[in-house]
Structure 1
Amino acid sequence: MPLGTLDGAPPPFFRQGPSALSKLTFFSALALFLMVADTRLQIAQPLRVAVATVLYPVQWTVMQPVIWAQTGGQYFESLKLAQANEETAQRQLTLQSQRANQAEQLALENARLRQLLGLRDRLTTPAQTAQVLYDAADPYSHKVIVDRGSVDGTLPGSPVLDEHGILGQVTRVYPMISEVTLIIDRDQAIPVLNTRTGARGLVFGDPSARANSLELRFMAASADVQEGDQLTTSGVDGVYPAGLPVARVEKVERRADTAFARITCAPLALVTGVRHVMILTPVGTQIAPRPQSPAAGPTSLRGLRS
């Protein structure tokens, strides 16, 4: 049979119900009606609630991976932010700690400088302030280096003191710096006066194993020396002005096998950790030279008489 003679319409037993256009028109009109009725009368609200209730477990199950992903991202972001805040807080705490330490150190230095300036006001000897740069590299001596030298007028033998008392003596002078030997050095000796009894003595640096101590030597075993006595400079050596604090008696040992007492003293100055000091001019340089009597006077008189 030729193809052109075939009918393209479906067989009669496949034709059921209205046509597709009729269904489209009907359902469109029904949808419009339901929308208008739901807007006006809320007739679909119970159905909507029932459908939402039935579909909620499915929605919750489907949304959990998304929620977990968002929560995980927020957790890592918050963790990173917390770590950054902790680092910032740690840096700020470190800076504040450094500033607090610097403030305490500055307050201590200011207090020491006030005491040093107050001591300078009570002195009549010319003086200049100096700063300790570092300790000398000699392990067998007690010396420090200060930032004053010959260009500043520093003289060898100049007494050095801090706000508490005698610290040492200038032993070497360079153009820009000077070497100060502390009173606890075994080669140092200072004439002192016991402020309680008025007895004079001589304090030496203690060469024994006891660190930062002095020894009052050549005091008779029967001498009136007690623990706690204050020792000041006597001024008889022409180097140290009289009345400057030197040491405090800590221990007195009187033994029968020797005629002298062993007296251990503690220096009043900060022999370790001092930063600001005062350099005095030696007392001997301030004394005017003794005037010499003119030798030609009597001869000229005899010449006139003749």
Structure 2
Amino acid sequence: MPLGTLERSAPPMFKQGPSALSRLLLYSALALFLMVADARFQITGALRQVVAAVLYPVQWVMLQPVQFIAQGSGYFQSLQTAQHDADAARKQMALMSQRSMQTEQLMQENARLRQLLDLRARLETPAQAAQVLYDTADPYTRRVVVDQGQVAGVELGSPVLDEKGVLGQVTRVHPFVSEVTLLIDRDQAIPVLNLRTGVRGVAYGDPVAGHGGGMELRFMPSSADIQEGDLLTTSGVDGLYPPGLPVAKVVRVERRADSAFARIYCVPIAEVQGARHVMLLKPMAEPLSKLPEPVSLPPGKKVNSK
């Protein structure tokens, strides 16, 4: 008998055991029965607890990478959100600070304008408002340029005031702008009156006086009754400045034995270094622009001398 015949499997009719379909139906029915029984009688509760206890370490180990990734993603997302909120808060704070500064500047400017209006109401001299545009480029002078000129009726020699006192004098007039020489300019002089004693004098600009820019009351005798804190106002004797306008305050008096005159240093009352809104007054008298020319005699005529 050939060996191949012995190695062959038995014919299908001689096979033992149920068929695959029978096993499928059996297992399906068993699974359905167990589900119904477990749902009604909880017969697998203890087994489920044992299996859960055994599989918990495995589940915990398997869940760690997932939780780590989720926590890392949440951390970076929250960090990005916090940075965005911090940037927005800084921008908002900067904007609020800028608005607060602008509001404060507007309030200060409004207060200065009100003081200018009050000062204008107390003066009998015609006046007009102006705004300081910029300082002149000459480093050896103390001048500013205002936005009113000949077209607006500005005259040469017009006194210039801010809300506190005399600022200077118009020394050059253009069609649309004018140059104002400040009180601290070395070529500027103004007649003043000591309110406490009634003594008159002349204050000169001195950029180095008063620790960085001020005025000096010159040609006052050493025995003159003047002291620190005295207020100097315009005397009105020059015909340009109305009397009674605040000019300067005495800050230091030096009396030396080797000099007949005292060194009296003053500080302007007006904001000569930061004025923005000013008022131009009409001069009380026309300034003398040039000397009159000498009268020429006809040829051959002599002047009679007595």
Scaled by the length of structure 1, the TM-score of the pair is 0.87
Contact persistence 2:207–2:213 (CA under 8 A): no
Report the 3-state secondary structure (helix = DSSP H, G, I; strand = E; otherwise coil) of the residue aligned with 2:253: strand
Residue 203 of structure 1 pairs with residue 188 of structure 2: no
Residue number in structure 2 paired with 1:185: 185
Contact kept? 1:240, 1:283, Cα under 8 Å = yes
Matched to 2:191, the amino acid is: P
- Counterpart mapping for 1:154-173 below 5 A: 154-173=154-173
Q: CA deviation at 1:254?
A: 1.3
Give the distance between the partners of 1:250 and 1:56, measured in 2 at CA. 90
Whether contact under 8 Å (1:251, 1:263) holds in the other structure is yes
| Residues 195 and 232, structure 2, Cα contact 8 Å, conserved in 1 | yes
Please give the per-residue CA displacement for 1:116-136, whole angstroms capped at 9, x wherever unaligned. Answer: 111111001111111111111
* Cα distance in 2, alignment partners of residues 177 and 44 from structure 1: 103
TM-superposed deviation, 1:18: 4.3
**1:130-187 Cα deviation digits (max 9, x unpaired):** 1111111111111111111111111111000111100000111111111111000010
How does 1:16-35 map onto structure 2 within 5 Å? 17-35=17-35
Equivalenced residue count is 285
Question: SS in structure 1 opposite 2:196?
Answer: coil
How much has 1:10 moved relative to structure 2?
Answer: 3.4
1:238 aligns with 2:239: yes
Secondary structure of 2:32's match? Answer: helix
Match of 1:83 in 2: 83
Partner Cα separation in structure 2 for residue 246 and residue 21 of structure 1: 119
SS in 2 for 1:164: coil
- The 5-angstrom pairing of residues 83-162 of structure 1 reads 83-162=83-162
Q: Is the 8 A contact 2:194 2:230 kept in 1?
A: yes
**In structure 2, do the counterparts of structure 1 residues 22 and 9 end up closer, same or farther at CA, with 3 Å as the change threshold?**
farther
Q: Which moved more, 1:209-218 or 1:122-131?
A: 209-218
Residue 255 of structure 1: how far off its partner (Å) = 1.3
Corresponding position of 1:225: 226
The structural deviation recorded for 1:20 is 3.8
User: Does 1:216 find its partner at 2:217?
Assistant: yes
For 2:92 and 2:286, the matched residues in 1 are separated by 55
Q: Structure 1's 155 and 223: CA in aligned 2 closer, same or farther, altered over 3 A? A: same
Q: 1:267-286 maps to which residues of 2 (within 5 A)?
A: 267-285=268-286
Deviations 1:170-205 (A, max 9, x none): 111111111111000010000001111111100001
Whole-Å separation in 2 of the counterparts to 1:28 and 1:224: 125
SS at 2:87 equivalent? helix
Give the corresponding residue for 1:296.
none
Cα pair 1:212 1:271 within 8 Å, conserved: no
Q: Structure 2 vs 1, CA of residues 20 and 7 (structure 1 numbering), >3 Å: closer, same or farther?
A: farther
The answer for the alignment partner of 2:267 in structure 1 is 266
- Work out the CA distance in 2 between the residues paired with 1:215 and 1:138: 22
Letter aligned with residue 215 of structure 1: E
Structure 1 portions without partners, runs of 5+: 287-306
Q: Within 2, Cα distance between the matches of 1:87 and 1:203?
A: 56
Q: Which amino acid aligns with 1:67?
A: Q
Counterpart for residue 44 of structure 1: 44
| Maintained 8 Å contact 1:205/1:215 | yes
Deviates more, 1:72-81 or 1:188-197: 72-81
Shift of 1:84: 1.4
Q: Any idea what the Cα deviations from partners look like across 1:54-87, whole Å, max 9, x if unmatched?
A: 1111111111111111222222222222221111
Q: Could you tell me how far 1:251 is from its partner in structure 2? A: 1.1
Task: Confirm or deny: 8 A CA contact 1:213 1:264 kept in the other structure.
Answer: yes
Q: Tell me which amino acid in the other structure corresponds to 1:223.
A: A
| Alignment partner, residue 291 of structure 1 | none
Residue identity matched to 1:43: I
| Alpha carbons 1:189, 1:205 under 8 Å: kept | yes
Once the two structures are overlaid, the 10-residue window that deviates more, 150-159 or 52-61, is 52-61
| Aligned mates of 1:56, 1:95 — CA distance in 2 | 56
Report the TM-score, using the length of structure 2 for normalisation: 0.87
2:293 counterpart residue number = none
Q: Distance in 2 between matches of 1:8 and 1:170?
A: 132
Partner Cα separation in structure 1 for residue 29 and residue 86 of structure 2: 66
Q: Which runs of 4+ in 1 moved over 6 A?
A: 5-8
